Structure 1
Amino acid sequence: MVKAESLPNDVAMSWTLTAAGPLGGLTSALASGGVEVVDLTALLSPSTPVLDLPPEMAPIPRFELEELARYDERGRTSYQNGIHTGEHVGTHFDAPCHWVTGAEKRDVAHVPVRHLVAPAVVIDKSAECAADPDFLLTVEHLEEWQHHNGPLPEGGWLLYRTGWAARSHDQQLFLNADESGPHTPGITAECARWLADESPIVGLGVETVGTDAGQAFTFTPQFPAHHYLLGAGKYGVTQLQNLDRLPVTGAVLIVAPLRIAGGSGSPARILALVSNGEAL
């Protein structure tokens, strides 16, 4: 969690002096600590867990750094690396064209920026997932959530807390696979369809390696979160951290994928703005 008050005083002061109107209120709250910035992004490194795909599919390349220069004969004044990775590695963004049902829809470069800064709500099923790694979120769970917390946000994000982020340091723990395949939480096919076609959200965020359950290859249709949400032109973000630091409602999500021309997705830095009670 990063507070704006940790920035140099001259930076915080410049925010206060240059911003006006609603932005002035936000920057003042950031400078005072009334609004906290919570990093929801997992560390991206060669040990970041990657989904194991079946043999008939091309494997997802792991993240790698290739050192190009480090204050030496290759570049005396600089340190720089080449980056080698897949679009869907670590904390990442799924664009609609990632799935065949969204093949004719937006790539990551053409996602409207208004969808990338939007309200977010959290549904917490971490206790249920601790008891059952194959736990599935249902429409009934979301209806109950709305009964207590109000409607899902129009044009916003649903963040699904499962507690799975605690496993993200270890490939085997994170994928939790046996002879029958991975066992990780997800959502039912009906819930995926409902979120895609009947809910007002623009995207779903999860702590697991992908938006679908580990056993979703056995569902009808297969991988329904991808099938329905991306097919409806909506989005997914995965491998989130620190959802336990967010309120049930009231956070603002900032999703920042690379603007890759023709890209089906991108590693992303994902942040949340959380109020500490100071009015903006």
Structure 2
Amino acid sequence: MSVHPPVLPGLVAGLRTGAVRVIDLTAPLSEDTPVISLPPDRGQPWPFERRLISKYDAGGPTVYWNNIRLSEHTGTHFDAPVHWLPGKDLDDVSQVPAARLVAPAAVLDFSAEATADPDFLLRREHVEAWQARHGPLPEHGWLLYRTGWDARLANPDRFLNDGHTPGVDPKCARWLAEETSVLGIGAETVGTDAGQAATFADQPYPCHWYFQGAGKYGLTQLRNLALLPPQGAVVIAGPLPIVGGSGSPARVLALVEQSA
């Protein structure tokens, strides 16, 4: 019987010495957090709100706390398969296996293209050209799509940009979801799909439709992807295990090995 050397002590040592860096990919959550706006005939997600319970006062002399109200898909959040019609019989957020919340990541940087065209769409040939330079997408890992959109977070109007934000071409989304082993897609925008994805003739909202239908996941409103290498980071996604939940606000962290 073979005995493998312990792995976790090396990780702990790397964290202590700084050889492994923890990068927060989560946008701060507040009343100013941008929230997607849907057509008037549809339901609308709640923005983040809080009501004070007590703050060292008559309501509770020794305690500060708040009640909060928000959509499952407010701020940096996790999309579970059940979030979209093709995944309606698949996992809710509480059923996502914990082991799938820790996974390797590839970071595809198309920020120059998105700066030049806010409606830029990632296509299969873009991904294949990236793989020719950086190697294959990590098996059972995240595809993190960098567009530089996190630079707009401080200004909700610029961030939402009147519905003109980058995304993924429908054919590319289907290919990634159905023919590669990636477990999900992450984006810096308010959702995983392009701002104009409702108007796509062949498949509206293709990232939601194909990824959730394939039992895969989404991460949105990420930041600091510029601090990650194209390959080699490990992502830890921490949604709340809401029973029956379609998703959840999440704290998303990345572990990056620092070069000597």
Q: Secondary structure at the match of 2:54?
A: strand
Q: 2:117 & 2:40 partners in 1: Cα distance?
A: 28
- Runs of 5+ consecutive residues of structure 2 not aligned to the other structure: none
RMSD of aligned alpha carbons: 0.9
Q: Secondary structure at the match of 1:21?
A: coil
Q: 1:33 & 1:176 partners in 2: Cα distance?
A: 38
Aligned with 1:116 (options 95, 101, 104): 101
**Structure 1 residue 249 and structure 2 residue 240: aligned?**
no
**Structure 1 residue 265 and structure 2 residue 247: aligned?**
yes
Q: Secondary structure at the match of 2:7?
A: helix
**Structure 1 residue 153 and structure 2 residue 144: aligned?**
no
Aligned with 2:182 (options 198, 201, 205): 201
**Structure 1 residue 217 and structure 2 residue 212: aligned?**
no
Alignment correspondent of 1:11: none
Question: How does the TM-score come out when normalised to structure 2?
Answer: 0.97
What CA deviation, in whole Å up to 9, does each residue of 1:145-172 have, x standing for no partner?
Answer: 1111111111100000000001111221
Question: How does the TM-score come out when normalised to structure 1?
Answer: 0.90
Alignment correspondent of 1:87: 72
- Cα deviation, residue 277, structure 1: 2.8
Q: Secondary structure at the match of 1:78?
A: strand
Alignment correspondent of 2:220: 238
**Counterpart residue type for residue 112 of structure 2:** A
Q: 1:113 & 1:147 partners in 2: Cα distance?
A: 32
What CA deviation, in whole Å up to 9, does each residue of 1:12-61 have, x standing for no partner?
Answer: xxxxxxxx810000000000000000000001001100000111111110
**Structure 1 residue 274 and structure 2 residue 256: aligned?**
yes
What CA deviation, in whole Å up to 9, does each residue of 1:93-131 have, x standing for no partner?
Answer: 000000011101100000011111000010000000000
- Runs of 5+ consecutive residues of structure 1 not aligned to the other structure: 1-19
Q: Secondary structure at the match of 2:223?
A: coil
Q: 2:259 & 2:119 partners in 1: Cα distance?
A: 37
Runs of 4+ in 1 over 6 A off after TM superposition: none
On the 8 A contact 1:105/1:233 being kept in 2, the answer is yes
On the 8 A contact 1:108/1:257 being kept in 2, the answer is yes
Q: 1:227 & 1:104 partners in 2: Cα distance?
A: 14
On the 8 A contact 1:49/1:169 being kept in 2, the answer is no
Alignment length, in residue pairs?
255
Q: Secondary structure at the match of 1:184?
A: coil
Q: Secondary structure at the match of 1:250?
A: strand
Q: 1:72 & 1:216 partners in 2: Cα distance?
A: 48
Identical aligned pairs, as a percentage? 57
Q: 2:63 & 2:44 partners in 1: Cα distance?
A: 33
Q: 1:153 & 1:110 partners in 2: Cα distance?
A: 23
Alignment correspondent of 1:4: none
